[in-house]
């Protein structure tokens, strides 16, 4: 009898062996293979070793300037983000004030917005016809816009700070909020001044998490594509943008491949440093719950500090989005929905081959496919990682590297990924270059780490004996999944689905390279409209950007609604 009962759980082994390797196979086919192809094209473009493309990139002053500009603009963006974000992190870490939770959530919304929406928002706010120029002209009686930030580094830096402010606020502020304030109080009692307390007590404790946040912001700015492409000019190209130019305009694949290799090497080193710094933030400390470390601002100085930072968040993060909405409704005849109605029309001379509204339907269709693929692969990957954890605890020698493998898509920029697809997926049996399926496959790869990290905490919290008992009682695998797994991880799956949907709707880097003219997505259509002159094109770009922003905000609200407390890593 015991043999009969114990044999039942192992009847699922062939099924597990069949499906669990699918996420790994997906990564091999759609991540590793394109990256290896990039290496091959870079170092052996004619099928034999040839370093001419490498010598061209490293020896040409223009490409050296692109590499150097990519590094120092990312460094400057990081410094500015830290300068504005650290005071906000302190305020959110140490004080309680009205609407704090709403402001914290609001500060994160820009981080999940597509880059094309951010670019459109800053054009609506700071462009020649933007609301800031309009206000300055009214105040000073000017005939011409006094502020022209088009194709300037200043506008790129402002957009990068807008994008990454939440990284510093969440990472540093979250860690700071749990530090025991009695350490600072003890130093003050011993005679240390305010600056000495910060320099000798607080700053050493915060250094690892500040460095980790700075490095993460640097990575995001280093691989910035949409912001630089749409807000910068020809002389402000980053490595990411130059890969796009060399691929789409000059068809110089060896040079593009060499630039992609340089970027991959940079990203690998940066992410390795980030993981090392992140590990240092997990050392044992005398941490306290936030309810014990936060207080109401009672002094005049504290109230002023809170007010200034709240005002900064509203001005810096909310104003561009409000300007985007307002400009999308503003026409030469007054306020109305004219630009939204124009999204259903394909007028003569449009560079789109389909009406703009079809770009919206394409994005929704690709996003739904991405959700389905990412949930299936992400669930299998999370289950595989959970099984690997159990095997390691049982001393079976399963390598811990498996967890890092599913984070690899985050280390590869979307433009590099799209370029890899162009040169790798053009021969049978993976001849997908002209297939519309290539877009949801690319989106799934970008979204997969987010889905896995959303599911993994819930999966790891499950007791594996529950499945074993259900299988012992005769439940088939589908019923075990339906009645044991799904009720426990259902909310985590909704969070993962919202992440996948948002990532797909806003993905621009890879899509800009692989999207067919007859299958444009919303970000691609927005970029096309923004690149064309005329108020109608600009208005349609603003209208579509507003719709895409609203979709992302709704998805973010869903993520916060279905998240189990602080469970999850994104």
Which segments of the chain belong to CATH 1.10.3720.10?
1-23+355-408+439-570, 51-336
Calculate what percentage of the chain has a pLDDT beyond 90.
16
CA–CA dist 100, 317 (Å, integer) = 15
Mean pLDDT of the chain: 80
Q: Is the pLDDT of residue 409 over 50?
A: yes
Q: Supply the CATH classification number for the domain 1-23+355-408+439-570.
A: 1.10.3720.10
Q: Mind listing the pLDDT tens digit for each residue in 484-525? A: 676 777 788 888 888 899 889 988 888 988 988 878 899 988
Q: Is the pLDDT of residue 286 over 90?
A: no
Q: Which residues face 335 on adjacent strands? A: 330
Give 373 or 478, the one with higher predicted confidence: 373
Q: Is the pLDDT of residue 4 over 70?
A: no
CB 197 within 8 A of CB 207: no
Q: pLDDT band for 59, please (50, 70, 90 cuts).
A: confident
Q: pLDDT band for 6, please (50, 70, 90 cuts).
A: very low
Range from 7-11, 46-50, 416-420 carrying the lowest mean pLDDT = 7-11
pLDDT at 69: 94
Q: Is the pLDDT of residue 397 over 60?
A: no
Q: Is the pLDDT of residue 53 over 90?
A: no
pLDDT at 3: 43
Q: How many CA atoms lie within 13 A of 99 on its CB side?
A: 9
Distances (CA, A) of 142 to 130, 330, 380: 14, 21, 62
pLDDT at 347: 63
Phi, psi of 4 (to 5 degrees): -65, -40
For the domain made up of 51-336, give the CATH fold.
MetI-like fold (1.10.3720)
Give 31 or 190, the one with higher predicted confidence: 31
Q: How many CB atoms lie within 10 A of CB 269?
A: 10
pLDDT at 395: 59
Token pair in block for residue 422: 């162009």
Q: pLDDT band for 18, please (50, 70, 90 cuts).
A: low
CA–CA dist 149, 154 (Å, integer) = 7
Distances (CA, A) of 392 to 336, 378, 385, 396, 528: 62, 21, 10, 6, 51
Distances (CA, A) of 502 to 223, 234, 372, 557, 566: 19, 30, 13, 11, 20
Range from 157-171, 275-289, 362-376, 538-552 carrying the lowest mean pLDDT = 275-289
Nearest to 173 by CA among 230, 114, 115, 100: 100
Q: Is the pLDDT of residue 13 over 80?
A: no
Q: Which residues face 295 on adjacent strands? A: 95
Mean pLDDT value of segment 38-62: 84
Write the burial class of residue 193 (CB in 10 Å: 0-12 exposed, 13-18 middle, 19+ buried): exposed
Token pair in block for residue 80: 């500015």
pLDDT at 569: 47
Q: Is the pLDDT of residue 145 over 60?
A: yes
Q: pLDDT band for 392, please (50, 70, 90 cuts).
A: low
Token pair in block for residue 464: 């594996």
Give 303 or 472, the one with higher predicted confidence: 303
pLDDT at 478: 61
Nearest to 123 by CA among 157, 90, 148: 148
Q: pLDDT band for 80, please (50, 70, 90 cuts).
A: very high
Give 13 or 314, the one with higher predicted confidence: 314
**Residues whose CB falls within 8 Å of the CB of residue 270, separated by 6 or more in sequence, listed in order:** 215, 218, 219, 222
Q: Mind listing the pLDDT tens digit for each residue in 229-262? A: 888 877 788 999 999 888 888 888 888 889 988 9
Q: Mind listing the pLDDT tens digit for each residue in 319-378? A: 888 888 988 998 877 888 888 988 877 665 555 456 788 888 999 999 999 999 999 999
Q: Mind listing the pLDDT tens digit for each residue in 179-237? A: 766 666 676 666 666 777 777 777 788 888 898 889 889 988 998 888 898 888 777 88
Report the chain's terminal Cα–Cα distance, integer Å: 47
CA–CA dist 390, 397 (Å, integer) = 11
pLDDT at 353: 56
Q: Mind listing the pLDDT tens digit for each residue in 524-555? A: 888 888 887 778 888 888 899 898 888 888 87
Q: pLDDT band for 14, please (50, 70, 90 cuts).
A: very low
Q: Is the pLDDT of residue 287 over 60?
A: no
| Residues 3-24: b if buried by 16+ CB within 10 A, e if exposed | eeeeeebeeeeeeeeeeeeebb
**Residues whose CB falls within 8 Å of the CB of residue 184, separated by 6 or more in sequence, listed in order:** 197, 201, 202
Write the burial class of residue 79 (CB in 10 Å: 0-12 exposed, 13-18 middle, 19+ buried): middle
- The pTM assigned to this predicted structure is 0.79
Nearest to 496 by CA among 412, 390, 419, 406: 406
pLDDT at 7: 41
Calculate what percentage of the chain has a pLDDT beyond 70.
80
Most confident stretch, 49-63, 131-145, 292-306, 439-453? 439-453
Give 439 or 538, the one with higher predicted confidence: 439
Is the torsion defined by CA of 96, 97, 98, 99 positive or negative?
negative
Q: pLDDT band for 429, please (50, 70, 90 cuts).
A: confident
Q: From the DSSP assignment, how many helices (H) and strands (E) are in the chain?
A: 30, 4
């Amino acid at each position: 009898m015991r043999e009969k009962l114990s044999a039942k759980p192992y009847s699922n082994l062939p099924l597990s062996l069949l499906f669990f390797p699918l996420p790994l196979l997906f990564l091999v086919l759609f991540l590793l293979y394109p990256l290896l192809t990039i290496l091959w094209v870079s170092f052996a473009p004619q099928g034999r070793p040839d370093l001419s493309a490498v010598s061209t990139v490293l020896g040409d002053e223009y490409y050296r300037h692109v590499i150097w500009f990519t590094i120092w603009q990312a460094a400057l963006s990081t410094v500015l983000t830290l300068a504005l974000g650290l005071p906000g992190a302190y305020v959110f870490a140490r004080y309680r004030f009205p609407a704090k939770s709403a402001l914290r959530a609001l500060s994160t919304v820009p981080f999940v917005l597509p880059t094309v929406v951010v670019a459109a928002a800053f054009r609506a706010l700071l462009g020649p016809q933007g609301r800031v120029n309009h206000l300055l002209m009214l105040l000073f009686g000017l005939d011409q816009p006094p502020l022209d930030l088009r194709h300037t580094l200043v506008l790129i830096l402002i957009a990068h700070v807008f994008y990454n402010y939440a990284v510093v606020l969440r990472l540093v502020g979250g860690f700071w909020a749990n530090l025991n304030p009695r350490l600072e109080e003890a130093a003050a009692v011993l005679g240390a001044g305010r600056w000495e307390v910060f320099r000798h007590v607080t700053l050493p404790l915060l250094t690892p998490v500040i460095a980790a946040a700075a490095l993460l912001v640097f990575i995001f700015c280093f691989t910035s594509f949409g912001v630089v492409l749409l807000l910068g000019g020809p002389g402000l190209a980053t490595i990411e943008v130059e890969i796009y130019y060399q691929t789409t305009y000059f068809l110089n694949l060896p040079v593009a491949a060499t630039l992609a290799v340089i970027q991959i090497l940079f990203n690998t080193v940066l992410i390795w440093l980030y993981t090392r710094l992140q590990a240092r933030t997990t050392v044992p400390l005398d941490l306290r719950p936030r309810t014990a470390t936060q207080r109401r601002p009672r002094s005049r100085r504290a109230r002023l500090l809170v007010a200034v930072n709240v005002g900064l968040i509203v001005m810096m993060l909310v104003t561009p989005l409000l300007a985007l909405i307002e400009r999308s409704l503003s026409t030469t005849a007054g306020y109305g929905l004219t630009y939204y109605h124009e999204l259903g029309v394909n007028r003569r001379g449009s560079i789109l081959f389909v009406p703009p509204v079809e770009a919206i339907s394409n994005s929704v269709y690709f996003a739904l496919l991405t959700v389905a693929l990412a949930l299936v692969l992400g669930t299998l990957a999370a289950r595989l990682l959970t099984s690997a954890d159990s095997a390691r605890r049982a001393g079976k020698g399963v390598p811990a590297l498996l967890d890092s493998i599913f984070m690899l898509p985050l280390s590869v920029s979307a433009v590099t990924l799209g370029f890899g697809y162009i040169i790798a997926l053009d021969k049978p049996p993976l001849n997908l270059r002209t297939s519309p399926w290539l877009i949801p496959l690319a989106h799934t790869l970008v979204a997969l780490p987010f889905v896995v990290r959303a599911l993994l905490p819930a999966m790891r919290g499950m007791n594996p004996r529950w499945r074993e008992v259900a299988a012992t009682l005769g439940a088939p695998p589908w019923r075990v999944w339906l009645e044991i797994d799904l009720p426990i991880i259902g909310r985590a799956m909704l969070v993962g689905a919202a992440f996948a949907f948002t990532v797909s709707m806003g993905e621009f880097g890879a899509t800009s390279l692989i999207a067919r003219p007859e299958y444009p997505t919303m970000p691609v259509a927005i970029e096309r409209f923004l690149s064309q002159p005329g108020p109608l094109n600009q208005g349609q770009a603003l209208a579509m950007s507003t719709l895409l922003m609203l979709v992302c905000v709704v998805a973010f609200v869903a993520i916060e609604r279905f998240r189990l407390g602080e469970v999850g890593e994104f």
